[in-house]
């Protein structure tokens, strides 16, 4: 039975209480931090370590800090009052200091620290009035017991109610249960990196000799981190291999429609756009199914790439769908694409949740009979009664909000259509590989020419009046501006209220006709009208909540004011700022903040001032927030790695992807010797999805 856990792993998946020192109570506590079996304990590595190497004297030791010295025990001084400590004077090679105990029993102290005897003590010492004190030493040993003292003692992440000592014992127990496993890592890679085998790696990771052994670069840690990434990439590679195996269709357009479009444009595509279109059309022409990610910073021109791809589908006699995450975006795609579609003579329609009744029915009929060539819309497109005559290409825009899993599900239930996902979130490479590792990647790494840098300035909220004055002057010159209101944690409704208040304020200051308002709580028709007014220039200032965060494209708008900028994340600020600087005019972004700023808010705003480079911003964001947070662990579908640290071991991800894809190319069923070992790794890391895919074949 191929899909059962190999017997060799059974001990690691037994009850936690099998481990020494773990009773039902401790097991209960550990369960709360997802340590439920010896395996989990094995993958809970020390987070730090204590150096207990012996020194001659506390003199000159970096204090406060842990010191280990041999001493001669001197006088015992019991407390003179309750709540005072019991003190024991001791003398090392060069100086006298004190051991201090609270609530200790005299008889016990006399037993472990008999006056006149030599003892080895180890613990945290501090200076008081120039004199060292060690409160409650961790170890008090007789000189001949010195061997019991670890030179370097690992420190585990602690759970309330579970001691370090218990963790040490349990971890050692788990290591003892670890079987020798045939290696799943590519032997060349293993040799090149000088990585230990699996069992040696877990043993070493739990028994660091120095602080360097705890670093992400330590070979044992790297190897174990790599295992996690490799298993993750294998899951993605299996999904990719399966998707490619399923019959796709060769979709090839003659290129006439694309030619018409390109002629009607006032600009020519950038090199990056041309390259991306070629990659996409190559995939579409091939007989396997396309599963490709188009990544491009805001304003890099993804829409044109999408359109050219869709036209290929249409020319081949099929249809294309473009799905956006919000109504506003779907509408905007529609408006942007409509003139181009008209130039090419293809029929484009919009379908959203607002379509109801007879109108919707008519659209669905047109779609089913092939009278609609391209359908743009929200996730209303994927409702079960929406049937295409011949859907050949599905494009999902800005969909980093969906998880890996949902995307896999989607492509599994789709027809033989090619899938293109577009994202404007410039995420660091390690995360892109982790999140989209099952896809092929096209990157728009070049912006259309003629864009001017955006001037970004920080302004204190105290200077609101001055900002409004400047805005008045800009409006008088005919410029257009967005005014984004602060994020409100409580609810969208409060956010809307704040936006309405700002709207009234700016209307009073700038003239009622000049200012529009859009937020998530408004009825659809009013939202559309507000957007349309702004696009056409009837209003010059658009007060908005983050509903305009992604995709909104009004090239003539050149001012972005973000109120409460300190409350936004970096990615959001970058997206919002990306709403300006899209035309040829010089653009400005004002980040308004209220002090005092937290350290991380200060860092975020400083980065925004420093750079417009989305990838740089994404790297900084990863550094400031950590990987889970960046995509939002819950929604991202990003696995939570116990060991791998994407910030510091991210480079391993690319290797893991290459290797995972290669393994499957050479041995699709994982039946070779190494393939069998890889299967064991999948079970060890509970890659259920991968195991299911393998067992279904
Ligand atoms: P994205 O969706 O990647 O943020 P868009 O597709 O909305 O970017 O394009 C941003 C703006 O740049 C649009 O106004 C578009 O017409 C324009 N644009 C796209 N490609 C080019 C190009 N090659 N040269 C000049 N302008 C371009
Ligand atoms: Mg876009």
Please choose, from the candidates 331, 381, 305, the residue with its C-alpha nearest in 3D space to the C-alpha of residue 548.
331
Residue scoring higher pLDDT (436 or 35): 35
Beta-strand pair 152-155/48-51: antiparallel
Tell me if 693 is assigned to some domain. no
The finding on whether 173 has its CB within 6 A of some atom of ligand 1 is no
How much distance in Å is there from the Cα of 318 to the middle of ligand 2? 23
Residue scoring higher pLDDT (291 or 1): 291
631-639 mean pLDDT: 45
The finding on whether 284 has its CB within 6 A of some atom of ligand 1 is no
228-239 mean pLDDT: 90
- Give the tokens for residue 258: 């694309």
Radius of gyration of the chain (CA): 32
* Whether residue 490 has pLDDT greater than 70: no
Q: Which ligand 1 atom lies nearest to the CA of residue 578? A: 4
Tell me the percentage of the chain whose pLDDT exceeds 90: 54
Query: In a mutational test of the pocket of ligand 1, which residue from 265, 277, 299, 337 has the highest number of ligand atoms less than 8 Å from its CB?
Result: 299
pLDDT of residue 637: 46
232-251 mean pLDDT: 82
On whether both 362 and 480 belong to a single domain, the answer is no
Query: In a mutational test of the pocket of ligand 1, which residue from 265, 277, 295, 303 has the highest number of ligand atoms less than 8 Å from its CB?
Result: 303
pLDDT in tens, 252-283: 888 889 898 999 898 999 999 999 999 999 99
Tell me if 647 is assigned to some domain. no
pLDDT of residue 1: 38
Give the CA angle between residues 104, 105, 109 to the nearest 5°: 90
List Cβ neighbours of 50 (8 Å cut-off, separation of 6 or more): 66, 152, 153, 155
Contacts by 402-408, CB closer than 8 A, 24 or more apart: 402/635, 402/637, 403/635, 403/636, 403/637, 403/638, 404/236, 404/435, 404/436, 404/438, 404/636, 404/637, 404/638, 405/637, 405/689, 406/637, 408/239, 408/438, 408/689
- Ligand lying nearest the CA atom of residue 305: 1
pLDDT of residue 599: 86
* Whether residue 410 has pLDDT greater than 60: no
pLDDT of residue 405: 55
On whether both 433 and 489 belong to a single domain, the answer is no
Sheet arrangement for strand 480-484: 455-460, 588-593, 557-562, 480-484, 541-544, 515-518
Residue scoring higher pLDDT (369 or 488): 369
Tell me if 665 is assigned to some domain. no
Q: What H or E segment, with its residue span, contains residue 458?
A: strand 455-460
Q: How many helices (H) and strands (E) does the chain have?
A: 26, 21
Weakest mean pLDDT among 70-84, 320-334, 420-434: 420-434
What span, in angstroms and rounded, lies between the C-alpha atoms of 205 and 81?
47
Q: How far, in Å, are 64, 161, 436, 663 from residue 657 at the CA level?
A: 45, 40, 11, 10
What span, in angstroms and rounded, lies between the C-alpha atoms of 71 and 97?
9
> What's CA 476's distance to the chain center, in Å?
43
pLDDT of residue 623: 76
Q: Which ligand 1 atom lies nearest to the CA of residue 553? A: 7
Question: Cβ–Cβ contacts within 10 Å for residue 313, how many?
Answer: 27
Q: Specify the number of domains making up the chain.
A: 3
Ramachandran bin of 291, using left for φ above 0, alpha for ψ from -120 to 50, beta for the remaining angles: beta
Instruction: Produce one character per residue of 577-595: b if its CB has 16 or more CB atoms within 10 Å, e if not.
Output: bbbbbbbebebbbbbbbee
Residue scoring higher pLDDT (236 or 493): 236
Instruction: Produce one character per residue of 22-32: b if its CB has 16 or more CB atoms within 10 Å, e if not.
Output: beeebbeebee
What span, in angstroms and rounded, lies between the C-alpha atoms of 94 and 69?
11
What span, in angstroms and rounded, lies between the C-alpha atoms of 337 and 231?
41
- Ligand lying nearest the CA atom of residue 444: 1
Please choose, from the candidates 638, 112, 72, 130, the residue with its C-alpha nearest in 3D space to the C-alpha of residue 407.
638
Assign 489 a pLDDT band (cuts: 50, 70, 90).
low
Question: Cβ–Cβ contacts within 10 Å for residue 14, how many?
Answer: 14
What span, in angstroms and rounded, lies between the C-alpha atoms of 38 and 170?
8
Tell me if 475 is assigned to some domain. yes
Tell me the percentage of the chain whose pLDDT exceeds 70: 93
Kindly report the backbone phi and psi dihedral angles of residue 101, in degrees, each rounded to the nearest multiple of 5, phi listed first. Answer: -135, 135
* Whether residue 399 has pLDDT greater than 70: no
On whether both 505 and 437 belong to a single domain, the answer is no
On whether both 469 and 433 belong to a single domain, the answer is no
The finding on whether 614 has its CB within 6 A of some atom of ligand 1 is no
Weakest mean pLDDT among 28-37, 479-488, 625-634: 625-634
Tell me if 200 is assigned to some domain. no
pLDDT of residue 638: 52
Most confident range (mean pLDDT) of 178-192, 378-392, 544-558 is 178-192
CB 458 within 8 A of CB 306: no
Please choose, from the candidates 218, 192, 197, 194, the residue with its C-alpha nearest in 3D space to the C-alpha of residue 207.
218
What span, in angstroms and rounded, lies between the C-alpha atoms of 247 and 286?
10
On whether both 367 and 495 belong to a single domain, the answer is no
pLDDT of residue 197: 97
Residue scoring higher pLDDT (547 or 372): 372
- Give the tokens for residue 62: 């970096």
Residue 80: which domain range?
A: 53-149
- Give the tokens for residue 443: 């990157």
On whether both 480 and 410 belong to a single domain, the answer is no
Please choose, from the candidates 510, 477, 484, 506, the residue with its C-alpha nearest in 3D space to the C-alpha of residue 585.
477
pLDDT of residue 413: 43
- Ligand lying nearest the CA atom of residue 399: 2
Assign 483 a pLDDT band (cuts: 50, 70, 90).
very high
Q: Which ligand 1 atom lies nearest to the CA of residue 268? A: 23
133-159 mean pLDDT: 91
What span, in angstroms and rounded, lies between the C-alpha atoms of 677 and 666?
14
pLDDT of residue 407: 57
83-112 mean pLDDT: 93
Weakest mean pLDDT among 187-196, 383-392, 499-508, 664-673: 383-392
Q: What H or E segment, with its residue span, contains residue 625?
A: helix 614-625
* Whether residue 626 has pLDDT greater than 80: no
On whether both 459 and 433 belong to a single domain, the answer is no
* Whether residue 426 has pLDDT greater than 70: no
Give the CA angle between residues 512, 514, 516 to the nearest 5°: 85
pLDDT of residue 439: 82
CB 471 within 8 A of CB 510: yes
> Domain boundary at 409, 425, 444, which?
444
pLDDT in tens, 38-50: 999 999 999 999 9
CATH number of the domain to which 77 belongs: 2.40.50.140
91 CB burial (10 A radius; 0-12, 13-18, 19+) = middle
Tell me if 262 is assigned to some domain. yes
CATH number of the domain to which 576 belongs: 3.40.50.300
pLDDT of residue 639: 59
Q: What H or E segment, with its residue span, contains residue 261?
A: helix 256-264
- Nearest Cα residue to atom 5 of ligand 1: 301
Please choose, from the candidates 392, 249, 380, 413, the residue with its C-alpha nearest in 3D space to the C-alpha of residue 320.
392
pLDDT of residue 379: 78
CB 28 within 8 A of CB 16: no
pLDDT of residue 406: 54
- Ligand lying nearest the CA atom of residue 553: 1
- DSSP category for residue 55: B
pLDDT of residue 631: 45
On whether both 338 and 479 belong to a single domain, the answer is no
Please choose, from the candidates 554, 504, 501, 556, the residue with its C-alpha nearest in 3D space to the C-alpha of residue 532.
554
Tell me if 18 is assigned to some domain. no
Q: What is the largest CA-CA distance in the chain?
A: 101
How much distance in Å is there from the Cα of 422 to the middle of ligand 1? 14
CB 225 within 8 A of CB 216: yes
CB 250 within 8 A of CB 286: yes
- Ligand lying nearest the CA atom of residue 274: 1
Instruction: Check: pTM over 0.75? Answer yes or no.
Output: no
pLDDT of residue 524: 80
On whether both 415 and 492 belong to a single domain, the answer is no
On whether both 480 and 388 belong to a single domain, the answer is no
> Domain boundary at 611, 635, 660, which?
611
- pLDDT averaged over every residue in the chain: 88
* Whether residue 630 has pLDDT greater than 60: no
Sheet arrangement for strand 440-444: 348-351, 374-377, 319-323, 391-397, 418-423, 291-296, 440-444
On whether both 419 and 549 belong to a single domain, the answer is no
SS3 call for 442: strand
On whether both 468 and 331 belong to a single domain, the answer is no
Tell me if 182 is assigned to some domain. no
Q: How far, in Å, are 70, 334, 606 from residue 600 at the CA level?
A: 45, 39, 10
The finding on whether 352 has its CB within 6 A of some atom of ligand 1 is no
pLDDT of residue 633: 39
* Whether residue 550 has pLDDT greater than 70: no
Contacts by 524-527, CB closer than 8 A, 24 or more apart: 524/327, 524/354, 527/327, 527/328
> Domain boundary at 396, 419, 444, which?
444
The finding on whether 277 has its CB within 6 A of some atom of ligand 1 is no
The finding on whether 304 has its CB within 6 A of some atom of ligand 1 is yes
What span, in angstroms and rounded, lies between the C-alpha atoms of 539 and 535?
8
CB 171 within 8 A of CB 22: no
How much distance in Å is there from the Cα of 526 to the middle of ligand 2? 23
Task: Tell me the residue length of the chain.
Answer: 697
């Amino acid at each position: 039975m191929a899909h059962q856990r190999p017997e060799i792993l059974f001990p690691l998946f037994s009850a936690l209480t099998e481990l020494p020192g773990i009773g039902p109570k401790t097991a209960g506590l550990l369960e709360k931090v997802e340590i439920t079996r010896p395996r989990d304990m094995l993958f809970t590595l020390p987070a730090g370590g204590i150096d207990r190497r012996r020194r001659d004297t506390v003199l000159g030791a970096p204090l406060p800090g842990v010191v280990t010295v041999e001493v001669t025990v001197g006088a015992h001084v019991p407390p003179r009052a309750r709540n005072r400590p019991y003190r024991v004077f001791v003398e090392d090679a060069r100086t006298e200091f004190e051991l201090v105990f609270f609530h200790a029993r005299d008889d016990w102290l006399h037993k472990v620290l008999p006056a006149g005897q030599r003892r080895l003590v180890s613990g945290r010492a501090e200076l008081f009035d120039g004199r060292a004190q060690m409160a409650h030493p961790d170890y008090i040993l007789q000189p001949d017991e010195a061997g019991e003292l670890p030179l370097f003692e690992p420190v585990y992440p602690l759970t309330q109610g579970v001691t370090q000592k218990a963790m040490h014992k349990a971890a050692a127990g788990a290591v003892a249960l670890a079987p020798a496993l045939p290696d799943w890592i590519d032997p060349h890679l293993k040799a090149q990196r000088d990585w230990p085998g699996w069992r040696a790696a877990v043993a070493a990771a739990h028994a660091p000799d120095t602080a360097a052994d705890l670093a992400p670069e330590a070979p044992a840690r790297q190897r174990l981190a790599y295992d996690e990434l490799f298993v993750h990439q294998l899951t993605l590679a299996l999904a990719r291999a399966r998707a490619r195996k399923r019959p796709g269709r060769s979709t090839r357009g003659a290129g006439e429609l694309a030619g018409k479009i390109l002629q009607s444009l006032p600009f020519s595509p950038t090199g990056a756009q041309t390259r991306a279109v070629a990659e996409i059309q190559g995939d579409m022409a091939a007989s396997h199914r396309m599963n490709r990610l188009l990544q491009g910073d805001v304003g890099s021109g993804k829409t044109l790439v999408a359109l050219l791809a869709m036209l290929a589908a249409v020319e081949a006699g099929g249809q294309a769908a473009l799905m956006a995450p919000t109504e506003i975006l779907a509408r905007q795609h529609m408006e942007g694409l409509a003139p181009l579609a008209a130039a090419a003579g293809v029929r484009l329609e919009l379908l959203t949740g607002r379509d109801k009744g007879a109108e919707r029915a008519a659209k669905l009929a047109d779609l089913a009979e092939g009278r609609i060539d391209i359908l743009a819309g929200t996730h209303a497109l994927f409702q079960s009664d929406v049937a295409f005559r011949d859907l050949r290409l599905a494009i999902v825009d800005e969909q980093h909000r969906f998880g890996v899993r949902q995307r896999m599900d989607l492509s599994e239930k789709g027809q033989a259509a090619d899938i293109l996902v577009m994202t404007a979130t410039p995420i660091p490479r390690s995360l892109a590989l982790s999140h989209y590792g099952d896809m092929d990647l096209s990157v728009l790494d070049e912006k259309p020419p003629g864009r001017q840098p955006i001037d970004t300035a920080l302004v204190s909220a105290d200077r609101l009046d001055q900002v409004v004055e400047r805005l008045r002057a800009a409006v008088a010159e005919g410029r257009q501006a967005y005014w984004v209101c602060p994020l409100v944690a409580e609810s969208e409704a409060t956010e809307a209220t704040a936006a309405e208040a700002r709207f009234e304020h700016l209307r009073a200051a700038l003239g009622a006709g000049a200012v529009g308002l859009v937020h998530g709580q408004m009825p659809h028709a009013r939202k559309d009208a507000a957007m349309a007014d702004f696009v056409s220039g009837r209003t010059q200032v658009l007060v908005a909540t983050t509903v305009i965060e992604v995709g909104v494209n009004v090239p003539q708008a050149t001012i972005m004011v973000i109120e409460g900028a300190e409350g936004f994340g970096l990615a959001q600020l970058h997206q919002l700022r990306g709403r300006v600087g899209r035309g040829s005019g010089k653009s400005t972004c004002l980040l308004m903040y209220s002090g005092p700023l937290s350290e991380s808010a200060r860092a975020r705003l400083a980065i925004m001032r420093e750079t417009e480079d989305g990838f740089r911003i994404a790297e900084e964001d990863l550094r400031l927030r950590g990987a889970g947070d960046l995509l939002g662990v819950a929604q991202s579908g990003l696995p939570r790695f116990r060991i791998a640290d994407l910030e510091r071991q991210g480079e391993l991800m690319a290797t893991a992807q290459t290797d995972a894809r290669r393994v499957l190319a050479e041995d699709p069923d994982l039946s070779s010797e190494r393939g069998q070992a890889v299967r064991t790794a999948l079970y060890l890391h509970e890659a259920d999805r991968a195991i299911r895919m393998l067992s279904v074949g």
